[in-house]
Structure 1
């Protein structure tokens, strides 16, 4: 199929999480080269799947690379849950809300954003500017026959959201409303940037690979008739015991959405996959391969195909030794 703007295709890039030097090296591997401070390709555009920030060693570099490309028209981006987290963490609640911050400054939340705040600590004006840019990032994209969202494509919810916000960008009122778990804003941001979480049975928890204790698990949305937890679980952490065989309740099945094989190609991040990149469904690619946990920073080179091809994944491993990290041409951040 022909692409808009005369380009040949898109390179979709998974969760960077502050691996800025590896991002630069991956772009170079994909044929992008820096011109006037922007990575450009003569025939393609990049699409970032969100979660540029938190955890990694070069967060400012990652944000600057992506932002420069987006603002120069060389890339698109959707919002991840970590960009949303940063916005909510940094914004005080409306007076009537009865809270101090939209995302409370709990030890858990402090830990997640700590590395980002530390790397911007001596650049407070830059951080405020980055937060303003996050507000401009759409929650989803439909481009030339493909769809992009950070965690979950929920068609009825998206249709209702786009009716009110046709640009797919939220505003401050929407952000404020998301503090209420019963609000439409909360449902949209929760589903599109975090996906569906199912609660584990009482007394059971997961010790997650990222150091947190979890009492829910991440569920995917491409099983046509799921019957058990194992039919929908989508995360690197195994379910304890024999929980994979536990039947889904009627209320749990009702919470799940469904994206069928007849739908357009869909690209996701978010789910901390591991190992060699693979396709979970013929028309779905998840590009989050745990880069910041010394996994892979992954891209998919999409050229308009309706049925995706695992041979079109491109990736770089993220080295454990900071000194051995790929070093692209440096960007002058100051």
Structure 2
């Protein structure tokens, strides 16, 4: 279990994806105020659930706010799959691998990281420092009474990670090993930062709103006795109608992990929820509400409760002008 400084509570914040001005607004709504360039609260701390970067208009601002808070002891953070992707995209592969980069620079991978690289283009030293900082951020956190991971808490894989790295962080050797299919490193990174996936039946695919065509579907990990695909699929993109009632095979069921209702409260991001924040289970909160798609940037105010309450969600709607004009706090911050 991670050691944490005393705090009366934690404010857990979902996927920011470069909506830096909205992050500042949410922190202000939560009662945090800037002091010497750091957002602080008199008796609470923040936990960021990862995916600070990519897609949004103010990525540097989002990273600066979070990094300054973490380094000042006012916040904690776990890595999201987008931070992991950026690390792999920007580090060269071992010469023996036959590849130039750990994450190949394919058109799709280029598109995902483009906004981040563009916004750091004139700040190469800052970007390198940001990548170095990502390597100091753990994949998961466990404090007294709560757990935090970007996508999925799988106890067996968390135990394997901590057996290798007590701080639950990764290094470049771990990252390189994770690029080889079938390794422990690959299983750990994939499950903790990307969650459960089911491969769609032959001949089926999902057409996402962003234009991507997917051959897998994200599956959640809290259904007690799932029987069908509809029982476990957890993503905004609609499934083909014939899949909702399709029985899960024994092999598919074996691939899914399960987080029981008697385990400590767990906070995740990653899943592109929509609408009014709600709890998928009494002890699980997902805080990714599609901020970068003009959804909501969502926090949960946790004060030690074992049973979570939807009354503790706090959010800011992401305005269309997040992409257009600088906010006063952004100017002041810089």
Give the TM interval when normalised to the shorter protein: over 0.9
- Measured in 1, the distance between the counterparts of 2:186 and 2:6 equals 38
Q: C-alpha displacement at 1:18, in angstroms?
A: 0.1
Q: How does 1:272-287 map to 2 (within 5 A)?
A: 272-287=272-287
1:261 aligns with 2:245: no
Deviation larger for 216-225 or 290-299: 216-225
Confirm whether residue 92 of structure 1 aligns to residue 92 of structure 2.
yes
The runs of 4+ residues in structure 1 deviating greater than 6 Å are: none
Q: Flag structure 2 segments of 5+ consecutive residues without an equivalent.
A: none
- Post-superposition CA distance 1:213-232 (Å, at most 9, x none): 11110000001111110010
Q: Is the 8 A contact 1:273 1:288 kept in 2?
A: yes
Shift of 1:7: 1.9
Measure the CA separation in 1 of the matches of 2:97 and 2:33. 47
Which residue pairs with 1:330 in the alignment?
331
Q: Which runs of 5+ in 1 are unaligned?
A: none
Question: Could you tell me how far apart the structure 2 residues matched to 1:160 and 1:271 are?
Answer: 24
| Distance in 2 between residues matched to 1:196 and 1:293, nearest whole Å | 23
Deviation at 1:145, TM superposition (A): 1.2
How far did 1:97 drift? 1.5
Deviation track 1:192-216 (CA, whole Å, cap 9, x = no partner) reads: 0000111111111111122211111
- Offset of 1:112 from its aligned partner? 0.3
Question: What is the match of residue 7 of structure 2?
Answer: 7
Which TM-score applies when normalising by structure 2? Answer: 0.97
Superposed displacement of residue 328, structure 1: 2.3
TM-score (norm 1): 0.97
CA shift for structure 1 position 98: 1.9
C-alpha change, 1:6 and 1:175, in structure 2 (3 Å) is closer
Aligned to 1:213: 213
| Whole-Å separation in 2 of the counterparts to 1:331 and 1:186 | 42
Distance change (3 Å), C-alpha of 1:54 and 1:329:
closer
**1:232-251: CA deviations, max 9, x gaps?**
00001110122110111111
Aligned residue for 1:315, secondary structure, equals strand
Mapping for residues 47-62 of structure 1, pairs under 5 Å: 47-62=47-62
